[in-house]
């Protein structure tokens, strides 16, 4: 009798385990948190850098109200830093300023940053909106104007722009950052002395990147950047020559780390899958969580490249900065 009851009990337990195993819910992947987002608000640019991988295929830009809604959705999903890029974002200076103010003052983001070639930035714009900007990054690929012209970085006066903008950023309390794309044309240049003269808070040095559908030289691309390419070994050699003495602000990024460790939002408010697939639906239509499911984002690479750092300026809580003045605005850098 006892054995019969025990057999029935074991059979029931086995049946229950089998049922639970067959009907268990599939484990959901962990939710992606868009901690830091790069919003390429326009593809238009007044420069013609030969290696650009966000080429001007359209002239569209989202309405300000839509962009604000997208920023709100991203902030609710966990975004703490927004970086405005392009194209050249200052081709839409008022839109950029109003959106930066909204992100810092209304959404209270930890960091609002801008990547620009600097040519369209004015002191008046910084006086009005600089209090809402934590970081201004300017692209500096060479301290030789002839090399800048070969690359397409302006027409011979880019370094004047860099000096002026660095001074303005000091005046209006904005942290100044430098971005450099290491490529075939600047590979043997020694930038140590001039970069120290600028004294950026961060110097991001990228290995030139080929994105097949953007600058890979195919029939449907607008650029062919293959002449700018360098090897991983050449890039590492360049980094070795520039790392020493600059450790406090030097941040190198080779292709392996850079390719998929950024969350890129395009001018239509869709996430891009750089080099690995088509873009997602618009975040206003499908939502941030659904859009992120369709993004290949290397979160581990994001951490390895130092994606989280001291990205809020001192006192940079959206209430403004009382620093500045004519003396700082007129300051000149000597390199």
Distance CA 71, CA 135 (A): 18
| Phi, psi torsion values for 169, nearest 5 degrees | -60, -40
Distance CA 52, CA 215 (A): 7
Distance CA 25, CA 7 (A): 29
Q: Does residue 49 have an active-site annotation?
A: yes
Q: Does residue 239 have an active-site annotation?
A: no
Task: Compute CA distances 183 → 52, 130, 152, whole Å.
Answer: 12, 32, 13
Instruction: Give just the sign of the alpha carbon dihedral 234, 249, 112, 35.
Output: positive
Q: Does residue 45 have an active-site annotation?
A: yes
- DSSP character string of 182-247: E-TTTTT---HHHHHHH--SEEEEEEP---HHHHB--TT-S-B-GGG---HHHHHHHHHHHHTT-T
Task: Compute CA distances 117 → 87, 122, 148, 172, whole Å.
Answer: 9, 12, 12, 18
Which is catalytic among the residues 45, 103, 169, 282?
A: 45
Distance CA 166, CA 88 (A): 18
Which is catalytic among the residues 52, 169, 205, 282?
A: 52
What element of type H or E holds 301? helix 299-304
Distance CA 237, CA 187 (A): 9
Token pair for 16: 């229950």
Distance CA 272, CA 104 (A): 24
Other beta carbons within 10 angstroms of residue 193's beta carbon come to: 9
Beta carbons of 209 and 258 less than 8 angstroms apart: yes
Catalytically active residues, by annotation: 45, 49, 52
């Amino acid at each position: 009798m006892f054995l019969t009851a025990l057999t029935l009990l074991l059979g029931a337990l086995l049946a229950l385990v089998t049922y639970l195993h067959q009907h268990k819910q599939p484990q959901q992947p962990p939710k992606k948190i868009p901690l830091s987002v790069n919003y390429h608000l326009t593809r238009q640019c007044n420069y013609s850098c030969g290696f650009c991988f966000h080429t001007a295929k359209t002239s569209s830009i989202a309405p300000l109200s839509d962009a604000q809604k997208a920023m709100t959705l991203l902030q609710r999903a966990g975004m703490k830093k927004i970086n405005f890029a392009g194209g050249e974002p200052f081709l839409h200076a008022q839109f950029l300023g109003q959106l930066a103010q909204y992100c810092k003052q209304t959404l209270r983001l930890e960091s609002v940053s801008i990547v620009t070639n600097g040519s369209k930035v004015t002191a008046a714009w910084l006086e009005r909106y600089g209090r809402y900007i934590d970081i201004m990054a300017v692209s500096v690929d060479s301290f030789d104007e002839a090399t800048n012209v070969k690359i397409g970085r302006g027409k011979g006066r880019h370094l004047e722009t860099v000096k002026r903008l660095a001074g303005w950023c000091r005046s209006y309390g904005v942290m100044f950052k430098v971005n450099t794309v290491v490529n075939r044309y600047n590979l043997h240049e020694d930038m140590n002395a001039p970069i120290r003269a600028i004294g950026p808070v961060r110097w991001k040095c990228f290995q030139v990147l080929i994105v097949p559908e953007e600058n890979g030289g195919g029939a449907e691309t607008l650029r062919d950047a293959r002449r700018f390419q360098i090897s991983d070994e050449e890039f590492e050699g360049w980094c070795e020559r520039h790392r020493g003495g600059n450790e406090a602000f030097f941040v190198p990024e080779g292709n392996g780390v850079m390719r998929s460790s950024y969350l890129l939002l395009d001018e239509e408010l869709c996430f891009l899958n750089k080099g690995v697939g088509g873009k997602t639906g618009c975040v206003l239509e499908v939502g941030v969580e659904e859009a992120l499911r369709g993004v290949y984002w290397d979160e581990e690479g994001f951490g390895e490249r130092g994606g989280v750092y001291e990205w809020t300026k001192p006192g940079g809580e959206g209430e403004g900065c009382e620093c500045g003045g004519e003396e700082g605005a007129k300051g000149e850098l000597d390199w």
